[in-house]
Structure 1
Amino acid sequence: MKRYSLLPILLCITTVIYAQPNTDVFLFDIDHSSGKLELSNIQNISNKEGYDNQPSFLDNYTLVFSSTRNGQTDIAQYNLKTGETTWLCNTEGSEYSPIKIPGKKAVSSINLGLDSSQKLYSYSLNDDSSEVLIDNLLIGYHAWKDKNTLFLAVLEPDMLSLVEYNLKHHKADTIQRNIGRSLLNIPNSNLISYVSKEKPQWEIHSFNQKTQKFTFIANTLTDSEDLVWLNDGTILMAKDDYIYHLNPTQGKEWVQIASLKELNLHNITRMAVSPDGTKLALVAER
């Protein structure tokens, strides 16, 4: 088994269009047993021409992502145990950014309709049923806080804005303008994180929904906005062909821990970690 040590080597959106580069979704094992973080057992789980992006774990053994087929983008579901890929929906539109809805056997995803509409839908994991959740906002990205609360990256002229949305009362509150696309729940906390682009040097911030408090966490890598939290409260961030690591409680300097050049993987973007912290999914160009 070849290992990639983390020391030596290791969308663009308009209001109606998602840029679609030729990307694939890759899966790694994450190993901490040696005292340092290592990646091993790389798999290309999409492995085809076209757009495969925006991976998200439903559980430790199931990954969903957006994938192009028959000229449109749908939700693919990958079973880590069997290696089988199935499709969750068969709509006339295209689906982006699928994530698990808390407390339900369903995923939410942004549906880009043939009429250029852009709505947030719920798709059942049990059957082909779906329903509209939000149809009055141009949502680029989203994250669930609980079954009734979402944080949205809403498209406005020349920027994304952070919006807290109450699904039960259909109430939207804008809480920050000019943010990035990474909206994440911080493990073992009641906080979400986002990337603020208000300054030339982008910053990672947290937001406490209950106290309405914003807290600076760290600067991002230059012009980079794709990150993921590990269960120990540290952060992985991607830039170009490299992965960097940061422990925000011990310092503010990013440490390069992986280069994927020798694997001929480039322009790493979206990342996701399994709930148990043993798997890393990432998007890259071959």
Structure 2
Amino acid sequence: MKKLSAILSCFLFIIPSILVHGQQSFDLISLESKTFFGNFSIVPGSAKKITDRAGYDNQPCFINNLQVAFSSIDEKGNSDIILYSFDKENFTNMTRTSDKSEFSPRLTDCGQYISAVTVEEDSTQRLWLYPINFGEPELLYDDIEPVGYYAWYNNIAAMYLLGEPNELVYPYSRDNVITLAENVGRSIQKRPKTSQITYIDHGASVVLNGKSTYEIKFYDIDEKNTGNYGVALSESDDFVWIDKNTMLMAQGQELYIKKVNKNLDWEKIASVSMPGYGNISRLAVSPKGDKIVLVMERKIDTVATNAD
């Protein structure tokens, strides 16, 4: 297992394999957001399409406050990493590979690499680093696979390994790889300013408002203890942290926040009205908390309207 010279601290979430013909189409939608006296909200009328095509554009993550990286699958079924710049409103290919597919990009803290799970020529899925100067990529962990999803803490990745059951593991060292949990959801997130890796526990369901859902749990890497932050929204499997104490989830086309330090229930903050689109799935929040990027399933070609 190779050691990374820079500290990595960005969460990511990925799909476990290359999509094939018949895949669903997804677009990226941006929203403006703001925080006023501790209250987080969406700016009405700010919904705007970033991508607009019958294809797969998904897995967004901000690499700085003006750029979001995402995975995009072309008509041949190959996935590359694309950068979108909000200030210039343009796209740049970070990777352009025909024999491999890259998913779920994140910028390393040193700013010299974008990390991604790469589906290699023999279908092996491992973590790789891609220099921003387009130099040769570097394999980060050579002996841990197949990686499905992961989050960074203290220069080490907590990795969801595909299997029956799946395992969430953390390599304290090459010879000390421990299992944090089993049967977890795809959203693996580091809670900001803590040593906690958070996830949705699919091991046992609970009932919320008459519908089955699951608990959001954490494993504290430094303290080596566990706990939970209540239940996730039903029929939802993606969440992100806005800040240390605020989580964001979507249910259908509605956005909700949860203040974990106040032990409150989920609070609806917006409905995203997008004719021709289905539910919201993945989400990403900018470092300053003033932008959100959503993934929405595309049904027909249309234009964005508003968020209220």
Is this contact kept in 1: 2:239–2:282, CA < 8 A?
A: yes
Is this contact kept in 2: 1:24–1:283, CA < 8 A?
A: yes
* 2:192 alignment partner, one of 187, 192, 200: 187
Deviation, structure 1 residue 104: 4.3
Partner of 2:226: 214
Using the TM superposition, name which of 94-103 and 56-65 deviates more.
94-103
Partner of 1:237: 249
Do structure 1's residue 87 and structure 2's residue 93 form an aligned pair? Answer: yes
Deviation, structure 1 residue 46: 1.8
Is this contact kept in 2: 1:179–1:197, CA < 8 A?
A: yes
Do structure 1's residue 162 and structure 2's residue 174 form an aligned pair? Answer: no
Partner of 1:123: 130
User: C-alpha distance in 2, partners of 1:13/1:60?
Assistant: 24
Q: Deviations over 1:129-188 (max 9, x none)?
A: 2121224311111111133x111111112x43211135x737532121110111112123
User: C-alpha distance in 2, partners of 1:182/1:113?
Assistant: 23
Partner of 2:56: 51
Partner of 1:6: none
Q: Secondary structure at the match of 1:275?
A: coil
User: C-alpha distance in 2, partners of 1:222/1:124?
Assistant: 39
Deviation, structure 1 residue 263: 4.7
TM-score normalised to the size of structure 2? 0.81
Partner of 1:132: 139
Partner of 1:65: 70
Is this contact kept in 2: 1:118–1:139, CA < 8 A?
A: yes
**Compared CA separation, residues 264 and 246, structure 1 to 2 (3 A):** farther
Using the TM superposition, name which of 220-229 and 73-82 deviates more.
220-229
User: C-alpha distance in 1, partners of 2:14/2:242?
Assistant: 26
Identity rate, percent: 29
Q: Deviations over 1:86-112 (max 9, x none)?
A: 011122211111112233411111111
Partner of 2:25: 22
Gaps of 5+ in 1: 1-10
Is this contact kept in 1: 2:185–2:199, CA < 8 A?
A: yes
User: C-alpha distance in 2, partners of 1:278/1:114?
Assistant: 39
User: C-alpha distance in 1, partners of 2:40/2:71?
Assistant: 32
Deviation, structure 1 residue 17: 4.4
Q: Relative contact order: is structure 1 or structure 2 higher (C-alpha 8 Å, sep ≥ 6)?
A: 2
Do structure 1's residue 37 and structure 2's residue 44 form an aligned pair? Answer: no
Using the TM superposition, name which of 245-254 and 34-43 deviates more.
34-43
TM-score normalised to the size of structure 1? 0.87
Deviation, structure 1 residue 229: 0.9
Is this contact kept in 1: 2:14–2:148, CA < 8 A?
A: no
User: C-alpha distance in 1, partners of 2:62/2:228?
Assistant: 27
Deviation, structure 1 residue 37: 1.1
**Compared CA separation, residues 84 and 17, structure 1 to 2 (3 A):** closer
Deviation, structure 1 residue 31: 2.1
Partner of 1:74: 80
Letter paired with 1:22: S
User: C-alpha distance in 2, partners of 1:115/1:65?
Assistant: 23
* 1:98 alignment partner, one of 93, 99, 105: 105
Is this contact kept in 2: 1:118–1:135, CA < 8 A?
A: no
